[in-house]
Each structure stands twice: as C-alpha cells, then as structure tokens.
C-alpha cells in the first residue's frame, strides 16, 4: 500500500509521542543499573572532582546518569560509558561490575589514576568499538586479552608524561600479537607505551594486520628503526606520530605515497640521511614536525628569488595550501627558505638551527595573516629583514638571532605587531635604532622577551611601559650613560643582561624581587657594589670599576645565589664572614681586586 507523503508528515507527531511513551514504559528500568552501581561502589574516587559518579544513584534512570549512553533502540542497555577526568584513584579489578556491561561499544576511562595493571576481563567487552584508557594510570604488561576485542576501531592506551619509566609495556605478548586480530582498527594510539620493538617487526606487524589504519600514534615507545618498506601499504594513513623514538635511519621515500597524509611528526628520532623532498608535495599536509634530528639533511624544492610569480607558484612547497604547522628546527636543512605564499593557514614556522642560506625572501610573507610564530634563528641568513615581516599582524614570536642579517631596524616598526611577545635580533650585523623622531614607545606591544644583544645599540631603549617584560638582553652593545631607574619598575623581570656595554652608573638600586639572573659584567660601573636583589641566583659584577669595600652583610643578599662574581674591580678591605651564610653558592669569584685580611673559614679547603 502506498501512503501519500503528506500522510506521513501528518503521522510523525503521533509516532513521536507513541515512542516517547514507549521509552518511559520499557526503559524506565535501565537494565544495567546493578553492574553500574557495583562499579561505582567498588571505585575509589574524589567526591569533588568526580562530578559524574556522585550523581549515579537509583533515584533516577541509569540511562540518564552523566557519562552513560543507552542504546537508542530502547533496549535499556548501556552502550557508552565516559568516566574520563572522573578523579578515580583505584578500585578496578576483574571482579568489577564494569565487565558485566556486555553491550558496551564505547568506553572512556582516560585521565584517572587507577594505578593498577589492566584487568584481563576487558576482553569480555566484545562489542567494544572504541577503548580509551589514555593517561588512566594503568601500569605493567598489556594483557593478550585486549587482542580479542576484534571490533575495535579505536584503541588509545597512551600516557603523555611519566616519571620513573613508562607505565605500560608490550613484552609478552609483543606488539605483533596485540594487533594481529584488530583488523578493523583505524586509530592506534600507544604513545608512551614501552613497545621496544625493532623496525622491521613493528612495521610488518602494522602493515600485515591493520589495513584500515588512519591514525598511527606511537611517540616515545622505544621503537627502533628503520621504517619498514611494507608500511607503504597502509594507504589510508593520515596521521603519523612517531616522535621520540631512536629510529637511527633515513626517512624512506615511501612517505610520499600517503596521499591522505595530514600530519607527520618525527621529532627527536635520530633520523639521518636526506629528507625526501617529495613529502613537500603532499597537498593534504597540515602538520610537519621533524625537529631535533641533528643528522637529518634536507633542502626545500629549488627556486630563485627573482623567478616570475608564476614559477614561484609552481614550486613545490607553494602547493601545501593546508600547511598549518611546520617545525624543522635543529636539523641540517640547507639552501633557501621556501615560499609559503599559498599556505594561507600557516600559523607556526620554526626553521631555526639549520644551515639555511640566502636572504629572507621579502615577497613570501604577504597575506600570511595567520602566522603567529616565525623562528629563523641560528642559520646563515643574510641581507636585510624584509619590511613585509612587520605586517604579519598576528605575530607573537619573531626570532631571527644568530644569523648574518644586516641593515638597520628601527625598533618602532614593532608597533605594527600588536601581539608580539618575543623579539630576537641578537648576534647579526644589524644596527637597531631604539630612539629617534619616529619612536613612539607608548604604543609598543607588550613584549615579554626582548633579545637585542650585539645590535649596535648606542642608547638604552625606552622600555618603561613594557610591564610584561621578563627577559631583557641588551648585552654586547655600545650603550653609554646610566642604567635607567625605571628598570626597577618592570616587576616581572627575571633575566637582565646588560654586560659588555659602556654603562657607568645605576640610577636606582635594582630592588626587583622577580629578578633571578643579573649580568652587568664588562661595563664601567663605579662606586660601591649595588646590593643584589633578594631572590637572585646569578650575579656577575665582574670587570667594572667598582671600588670601596664589600658590604659586611653581603651574604644576606645571596640566600639563593649559586654564582657571584666581583672579579676585576677595585675592591678593598676584607672578605665579609657573612659570605659563609649561604648554602647554594657554587662559584664565588673575587679575583683581581685589592682585598686584604683573613679568608672566611668556609672558603678554606676542606670545610
Ligand atoms: C570473560 O573473560 C575471561 C578472561 O578473559 C574469560 O575466561 C571468560 O570466559 C569471559 N567470560 C565471558 C562471559 O565472556
Ligand atoms: C622497555 O622494555 C624493554 C624490553 O622489555 C626493557 O629491556 C627496557 O628496559 C624497557 N625500558 C624502560 C625504560 O623501561
Ligand atoms: C640509537 O640507536 C642506535 C642504533 O641502534 C645506537 O647505536 C644508539 O646507541 C642508540 N642511541 C640511544 C641514545 O639509545
Ligand atoms: C603544484 O600544483 C599545480 C596545480 O595543481 C601543479 O600543476 C604543479 O605540478 C604542482 N607542483 C608541484 C611541484 O607539485
Ligand atoms: C584554513 O582553515 C580553515 C578552518 O580550519 C578551513 O576551513 C580552510 O579551508 C583552510 N584554508 C585553506 C586554504 O586551507
Ligand atoms: C603615539 O601612540 C599613541 C597610541 O597609539 C598615539 O595616541 C599618539 O598620538 C602617538 N604619538 C605620536 C607622536 O605619534
């Protein structure tokens, strides 16, 4: 019989009401209440953190309890249980009510501290599609029984950080045995598990058992290399995270075969050889992290500065339109910086500590308005800093220190970067102009770290409104005059390096309680030595013109100090006994002064 469409529309409200009644009648008795209450009673948990468990009580239908989802067919069976971040401290073993929840498909116990081995009876939950036990505090060998969960699509047993060794391990059974029956698996997340397998073993196990794998996350798993060639068969892989494993091998070209690859993280893997340029042609790539592979060589697809726009657009990296995060720091990449023109979503670029040469291309930054981080420090870049860099309005970090850049930078240009928190221009051949008719200090962004060492500065930059500043390096310049008094108003300042300048005086004592490191060495400071700030750990007053005697109570200022140098000054008189009232001092240098008198007992060998 055909029912006209309008009749169906007419019937829908009635059907809805009817099934609503149905739910109340049948699943009024949620059928898994007993095992759930058993589970709750066996667990130890923190009543304050555990906002879900405290609401589990027989006064309401257990299908309505927080963290519980029942089958929508009205069977009254629990199919999902989410007790993540539930403040659970223990109480799960093989007798737990949890393992009577026969219909469970999704189980999330992440971020608790169970502090026990994995119960073998997880294997009873044969309907599980998704099992998330990440950072749940399970320890020891992963039981073989997990491999019986053949419907699993997602398995997460990761631990992010561990003190005193990895929490979980795969020894007997080994990795191959664990995954051999999990053919449905699309997400395998085992970061931090001690898998301790050879490259050919774990690679072959993955490729032969998990044909549908999309997410492979096994960073920090004590894996060794190489990356097995059979991995190329896993055509669906889109996320590969293998950072912090000692692979000690080259990156195989097979990576470029993953046409759906969005994320490749191989940081700190001791990779060597030459990184295949073809990876820069995978158009889906969003995240690429190869940082800290000190032996890894590589370069970007070749292009020249003066190529026509059209040729530039054809150069390979220009095709990475989805690229979002690029960290190639601390490798051996050489050649020129690539064009990022088409990567409009790029937010993070760190190419620091490589052997990159050539100029910082000027035309490549326009329109990259998502960029927040640009790290190009410690390369061999030359030429001027292109002014287009100062139009990246969302930039937080601009670090260009330790290159061979030249030219003049007017500090007021950073006004155009209202979100800038770190600026590093140290150790180039730059001349930074910090004052002049164009400088308008009242509108500088709220910088936290300013590194202007060796920048040919001649005057002290006016930073009196930079109330968020905590790291200031103006060392190795030709700044004359006094240390301005407003420094003592920068109440967050922790690191102050004014060494190797021509400073003569302190306008005010540096009474900053936040200050931890103070380096004033190699200036022309005179008079008696200034009292160190109260929580200082490192003080260098050496190679100045300080005279007079060392204050008798100097030890009272050095309660947290491990390094204190007064060498190469004109100090006279005795070494105060108060120096001995200090537990932390490791280096005390008073050499090249005109001190006299007895040496305090604590400084004599053997005491
Ligand atoms: C539950 O798991 C245990 C251990 O794996 C097994 O011996 C037992 O037969 C299982 N029970 C059911 C009902 O599946
Ligand atoms: C990891 O497992 C291997 C083999 O089981 C073992 O030799 C090694 O000591 C473990 N490593 C750590 C850090 O626990
Ligand atoms: C890394 O692996 C290589 C090759 O197996 C080995 O020679 C090296 O000692 C390992 N390094 C560390 C730190 O384990
Ligand atoms: C970049 O993409 C264009 C257009 O899709 C294509 O013609 C070109 O070959 C690609 N370049 C490289 C080096 O992959
Ligand atoms: C940039 O990211 C947004 C949101 O994540 C996305 O919708 C857009 O397609 C991306 N743009 C490009 C060019 O990839
Ligand atoms: C300095 O900047 C402030 C805030 O942006 C502005 O109000 C003021 O007019 C500027 N002064 C000069 C001399 O440009």
- Give the model's pLDDT for residue 4: 45
505 shares a domain with 461: no
146 shares a domain with 47: yes
Distance 102 CA to ligand 1 centre (A): 11
Q: Is residue 61 part of a domain?
A: yes
517 shares a domain with 540: no
538 shares a domain with 469: no
Mutate to test the pocket of ligand 5, among 284, 318, 345, 367 (most ligand atoms within 8 A of CB): 345
Q: Is residue 16 part of a domain?
A: no
Neighbouring C-beta atoms of residue 306, cutoff 10 Å: 7
Could you give the CA distance from residue 110 to residue 100 in angstroms, rounded to a whole number? Answer: 20
Distance 441 CA to ligand 6 centre (A): 9
Give the number of whichever ligand sits closest to the CA of residue 324. 5
- Give the model's pLDDT for residue 10: 42
- Give the model's pLDDT for residue 605: 67
Residues found in the chain:
607
Distance 416 CA to ligand 6 centre (A): 13
Q: Please enumerate in sequence order all residues whose Cβ is within 8 A of that of 18, keeping only pairs 6 or more positions apart, or say none.
A: none
Distance 223 CA to ligand 2 centre (A): 11
Neighbouring C-beta atoms of residue 297, cutoff 10 Å: 17
Give the number of whichever ligand sits closest to the CA of residue 123. 1
Distance 105 CA to ligand 1 centre (A): 17
Give the number of whichever ligand sits closest to the CA of residue 256. 4
3-class SS of residue 392: coil
If one counts the domains in the chain, the total is 2
339 CB near ligand 4 (under 6 Å): no
Ligand 3: which residue has its CA nearest to atom 1? 246
160 shares a domain with 182: yes
Could you give the CA distance from residue 98 to residue 584 in angstroms, rounded to a whole number? Answer: 53
272 CB near ligand 4 (under 6 Å): no
The pTM is what?
0.87
331 shares a domain with 215: yes
Could you give the CA distance from residue 141 to residue 101 in angstroms, rounded to a whole number? Answer: 24
406 shares a domain with 362: yes
Ligand 6: which residue has its CA nearest to atom 10? 440
- Give the model's pLDDT for residue 351: 96
The minimum-distance atom of ligand 4 relative to the CA of 313 is 1
Give the number of whichever ligand sits closest to the CA of residue 222. 2
Ligand 1: which residue has its CA nearest to atom 8? 124
Q: Is residue 293 part of a domain?
A: yes
424 shares a domain with 324: yes
Distance 462 CA to ligand 6 centre (A): 15
Q: Is residue 308 part of a domain?
A: yes
Distance 133 CA to ligand 1 centre (A): 20
314 CB near ligand 4 (under 6 Å): yes
Q: Is residue 22 part of a domain?
A: no
Q: pLDDT averaged over consecutive 10-residue blocks of the chain (607 residues)?
A: 42 40 48 93 89 91 93 89 94 92 96 93 96 94 94 96 77 91 97 89 95 97 92 94 96 89 97 92 94 94 53 58 95 89 91 94 79 96 92 93 95 87 97 68 79 95 89 97 93 97 93 94 95 94 95 90 96 91 88 90 71
Ligand 3: which residue has its CA nearest to atom 6? 248
Q: Are 177 and 209 in contact (CB under 8 A)?
A: no
Give the number of whichever ligand sits closest to the CA of residue 279. 4
Q: Determine what percent of the chain falls in helix, strand and coil, rounding each to the nearest 5.
A: 20, 20, 60
- Give the model's pLDDT for residue 443: 62
- Of 138, 199, 202, the C-alpha closest to 167 is 138
Ligand 5: which residue has its CA nearest to atom 14? 322
What CATH number is attached to the domain comprising 487? 3.80.10.10
248 CB near ligand 3 (under 6 Å): yes
Q: Domain of residue 552: give its range.
A: 497-511+528-607
Q: Is residue 377 part of a domain?
A: yes
- Give the model's pLDDT for residue 159: 92
Distance 204 CA to ligand 3 centre (A): 21
3-class SS of residue 9: helix
Distance 31 CA to ligand 1 centre (A): 21
The minimum-distance atom of ligand 1 relative to the CA of 145 is 5
581 shares a domain with 433: no
Q: Is residue 227 part of a domain?
A: yes
246 CB near ligand 3 (under 6 Å): yes
What are the DSSP E strand ranges found in 395-554? Answer: 397-399, 404-410, 422-424, 429-433, 449-451, 471-473, 480-483, 495-497, 502-506, 517-519, 526-527, 538-540, 545-549
505 shares a domain with 477: no
Give the number of whichever ligand sits closest to the CA of residue 269. 3
482 shares a domain with 381: yes
440 shares a domain with 566: no
Structure tokens at 224: 């060794």
Mutate to test the pocket of ligand 2, among 173, 194, 197, 224 (most ligand atoms within 8 A of CB): 194
Residue list, ligand 1 pocket, CB within 6 Å: 120-121, 123-124, 145
Q: Is residue 571 part of a domain?
A: yes
């Amino acid at each position: 019989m055909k029912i006209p469409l309008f009749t169906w529309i007419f019937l829908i409200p009635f059907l809805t009401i009817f099934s609503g009644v149905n739910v109340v009648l049948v699943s009024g008795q949620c059928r898994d209440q007993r095992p759930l209450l058993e589970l709750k009673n066996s667990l130890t948990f923190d009543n304050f953190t555990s906002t879900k468990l405290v609401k589990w009580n027989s006064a309401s239908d257990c299908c309505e309890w927080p963290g519980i989802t029942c089958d929508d067919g009205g069977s009254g069976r629990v199919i999902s249980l989410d007790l993540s971040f539930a403040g659970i401290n223990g109480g799960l073993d093989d007798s737990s009510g949890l393992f009577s929840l026969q219909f469970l498909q999704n189980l999330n116990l992440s971020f608790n501290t169970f502090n026990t081995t994995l119960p073998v009876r997880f294997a009873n939950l044969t309907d599980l599609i998704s099992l998330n036990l990440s950072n749940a505090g399970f320890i020891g060998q992963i039981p073989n029984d997990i491999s019986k969960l053949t419907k699993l699509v997602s398995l997460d047993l990761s631990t992010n950080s561990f003190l005193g060794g990895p929490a979980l391990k795969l020894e007997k059974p080994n990795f191959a045995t664990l995954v051999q029956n999990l053919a449905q698996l699309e997400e395998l997340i085992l970061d931090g598990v001690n898998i301790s397998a050879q490259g050919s073993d774990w690679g072959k196990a993955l490729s032969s058992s998990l044909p549908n794998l999309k997410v492979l996350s096994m960073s920090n798993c004590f894996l060794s290399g190489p990356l097995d060639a059979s991995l190329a068969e896993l055509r669906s892989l889109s996320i590969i995270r293998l950072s912090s494993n000692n692979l000690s091998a080259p990156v195989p070209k097979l990576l470029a075969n993953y046409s759906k690859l969005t994320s490749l993280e191989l940081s700190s893997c001791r990779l060597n050889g030459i990184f295949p340029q073809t990876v820069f042609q995978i158009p889906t790539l969003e995240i690429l992290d190869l940082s800290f592979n000190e032996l890894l060589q590589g370069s970007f697809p070749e292009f020249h500065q003066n190529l026509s726009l059209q040729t530039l657009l054809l150069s390979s990296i220009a095709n990475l339109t989805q690229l979002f995060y690029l960290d190639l720091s601390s490798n051996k990449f050489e050649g020129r910086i690539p064009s990022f023109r088409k990567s409009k979503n790029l937010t993070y670029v760190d190419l620091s500590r490589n052997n990159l040469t050539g100029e910082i291309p000027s035309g490549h930054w326009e329109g990259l308005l998502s960029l927040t981080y640009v790290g190009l420090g410690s390369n061999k870049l030359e030429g001027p800093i292109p002014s287009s860099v100062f139009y990246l309005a969302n930039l937080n970090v601009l670090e260009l220190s330790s290159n061979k850049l030249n030219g003049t930078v007017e500090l007021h240009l950073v006004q155009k970067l209202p979100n800038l928190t770190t600026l590093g221009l140290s150790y180039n051949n730059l001349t930074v102009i910090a004052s002049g008719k164009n400088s308008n200090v009242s509108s500088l962004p709220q910088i936290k770290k300013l590194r202007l060492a060796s920048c040919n500065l001649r005057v002290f930059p006016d930073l009196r409104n930079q109330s968020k500043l905590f790291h200031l390096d103006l060392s190795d310049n030709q700044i004359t005059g006094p240390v301005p008094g407003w420094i003592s108003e920068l109440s967050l300042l922790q690191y102050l390096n004014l060494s190797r300048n021509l400073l003569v005086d302190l306008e005010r004592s540096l009474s900053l309680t936040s200050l931890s490191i103070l380096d004033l060495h190699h200036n022309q400071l005179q008079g008696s030595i200034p009292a160190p700030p109260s929580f200082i750990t490192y003080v260098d007053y050496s190679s100045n013109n300080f005279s007079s005697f060392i204050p008798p109570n100097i030890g009272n200022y050095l309660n947290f100090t491990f390094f204190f140098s007064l060498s190469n000054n004109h100090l006279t008189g005795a070494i105060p006994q108060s120096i001995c009232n200090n537990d932390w001092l490791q280096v005390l240098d008073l050499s090249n002064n005109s001190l006299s008198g007895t040496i305090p007992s604590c400084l004599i060998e053997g005491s």
